[in-house]
Structure 1
């Protein structure tokens, strides 16, 4: 039994780096600490507990994590500092050596953070508690919204794919998931709390079912039956796991939005082989074709990595040409980062930082063209927008069913409301369309 009296009237701050899954998990940690008597520190207050949930997808992410830790230690002298997340699982001793860090928790321990806090007594040297990646088995449920209107439901964790450039399987362990009945119960709780939109998150959500003998399609069908839920969005799903039956179901569903995020990583088959991806460009193109055939106005976001080892100029040009011809909406472009222990380090051809930057800029410009054209096609149309909370004095924004960002005059009463609007022209910085209430 944990003695929670030590947490009464304590204040905590939370800092999250990385993916939507990390943000969902941090929010769940905050909820657990709140139940134990800890409140979130207000702006300017000195916290008693600092929680840092880290990312390690690139060396830049590692650096940002270290900077965040140092900053929180300076801002909250004497606070009990806990670091968890992917970087903590991969480099626990390195983080424990940072001055001011008290506790480093790995992937297996993250969901039970409170039981490791003890009496919050600071020590001369940080302690690390992690589990070997092969022994990471637990699935920590998470469904939370933090400061956002949308809820993020964690349905799966870990990955069995071991792509040559990636450390995620070493940071989060093997693929595992929650039970459909439990996830449906969490969705019903969101409805009870007044939530209208849930984003399904995970590391490799299409691989759902490894630990329960179910499938991701089974989950989608079950969630679609939850009365009162207005919207679901599927976060990043591998193209080889985005089945035609899922696409067809979404096209007919009133609750699952015409919005897909599909990682491509490279538009060149030779590079995909070097990356050890489980599809080729022909399969990827066929998925895009199927989505657009059934949902012509669907928003499709695509992840692309530039400058991986082995990506010659010829291979990049081939990839660019392929991507340019895809009917997708937006590119999320990442520069390849060397990660210790990955198989990609065995590939001889290395792309210079300058070349990575040039390739990244070309793809970002292509992404802007595609997004602008997609938005422009919808000017003058009617749409349903779920409005989100905004800072005082700032325009409110929300998203249509197919993820077009819409801005309107600030009105707190509109937060978390579905509005019928007419889509106007672009806003001043070209990042959204103006909405006029019908």
Structure 2
């Protein structure tokens, strides 16, 4: 039987989808794109809009594949089990805590055609899961941590993911070794609260980075999104000792205003964030610092927004995901006073995007003239090859050769709107 997948949300979800597909492939299912006998929908629930996308995906999958078995899993059922169970298009509904039973549930449904809803509470240990191949990808994502203990006032994720749980180091080493043998030259370590890795095991994120860098076949190690306050000078120094670690750090900011950060229950101040960025740039030359910034959070005054805007300009991020605050039922902030009108949130979004686009252009211009190793990933429509430097700058190169999956030196010759252009060269 054929099975395909629809993944909504973050890199952790992408990893988990691959793990579930691997489980099904081992049971004899054929992985495919497009029409299939079984369609797996791995959901996100970070915003109310995310839930809307889940419902849309289910409706579309049912309309286009009326006889297929539809499996809904992921964060949405885990956080809102009753709401997920009411989605009649789904034949099987699973949460985040019991995906090991996926194959048997599908087989049971195929046998009985009785709808299955099975959503269990999160356990206290890391769900055993391993991926050795990523379909049509040149880099591998490796989930090393799950859960979050932070409870930001706007965030539903602790309810969807449970508390911090970490992958045992021996399991991580085994998975990394297999990925290296399968030809992956770059791995991205991911987690729901990545710097919390090891809190439950007496380890730190540095231990996971060391394990990844120790695999001979793996030439690059990249980190997923990071909560900044856990990056102490000691942690940064230890990370910098690993030459394979890529100098790209996605440090979630949310706001550059201390008053707003306090209402969000973020665990750092703007000044502390600034110091962490300075420490990273000091030991990682040409580092790319990227982030997320939320505008229009409940109670955000014009003065507070201007503070955040000025902070974004000062830090000079390489790239920023700007988004308006959206009330998330089930979170404390949904009931906060001072909710901002949609039109004002849109206005603030436009202002923040304009500033961060300026810093993006300046960062890309700084790459011109540099020669960097580029991991080639795909051929674009204009027949140019696209690849990424260690600091995750997208570079386009004209070449008739098939270079996908190779790391080659490229001299950056021009900064474009959201990438750079370069030429292959013989040496770094």
What's the counterpart of residue 147 of structure 1? Answer: 136
Is 1:357 paired with 2:357? no
CA contact (8 A) 2:257 2:308 kept: yes
Describe the SS at the equivalent of 1:358: helix
Residues of 2 paired with 1:65 and 1:412: CA distance?
40
Residues of 1 paired with 2:99 and 2:399: CA distance?
38
Residues of 1 paired with 2:402 and 2:334: CA distance?
53
Match of 1:434 among 415, 421, 425: 421
Report how many residues are paired.
424
What's the counterpart of residue 3 of structure 1? Answer: none
What's the counterpart of residue 91 of structure 2? Answer: 102
What's the counterpart of residue 32 of structure 1? Answer: 23
Alignment of 1:9-408 (within 5 A): 10-43=1-34, 46-121=35-110, 126-133=115-122, 135=123, 137-143=125-131, 144-390=133-379, 394-408=383-397
Stretches of structure 1 that go unaligned for 5 or more consecutive residues are: 1-9
Residues of 2 paired with 1:234 and 1:341: CA distance?
30
How far residue 382 of structure 1 moved from its aligned partner, in angstroms, is 1.0
Q: TM-score, normalised to structure 1's length?
A: 0.92
Higher mean C-alpha deviation, range 52-61 or range 324-333: 324-333
Higher mean C-alpha deviation, range 243-252 or range 158-167: 243-252
Change (3 A) 1:20 1:271: same
Residues of 2 paired with 1:187 and 1:275: CA distance?
36
How far residue 250 of structure 1 moved from its aligned partner, in angstroms, is 3.4
Higher mean C-alpha deviation, range 148-157 or range 372-381: 372-381
CA contact (8 A) 2:97 2:121 kept: no
Describe the SS at the equivalent of 2:109: coil
How far residue 354 of structure 1 moved from its aligned partner, in angstroms, is 0.9
CA contact (8 A) 2:371 2:412 kept: yes
Q: Which runs of 4+ in 1 moved over 6 A?
A: 122-125
Residues of 1 paired with 2:28 and 2:89: CA distance?
23
CA contact (8 A) 1:236 1:260 kept: yes
Describe the SS at the equivalent of 1:146: coil
Stretches of structure 2 that go unaligned for 5 or more consecutive residues are: none
Residues of 2 paired with 1:136 and 1:172: CA distance?
11
Residues of 1 paired with 2:323 and 2:83: CA distance?
26
How far residue 126 of structure 1 moved from its aligned partner, in angstroms, is 4.1
Q: TM-score, normalised to structure 2's length?
A: 0.94
Change (3 A) 1:225 1:335: same
Change (3 A) 1:188 1:41: closer
Q: Deviations over 1:58-77 (max 9, x none)?
A: 11111111101110111111
Residues of 1 paired with 2:415 and 2:136: CA distance?
26
Residues of 1 paired with 2:222 and 2:287: CA distance?
12
CA contact (8 A) 1:97 1:126 kept: no
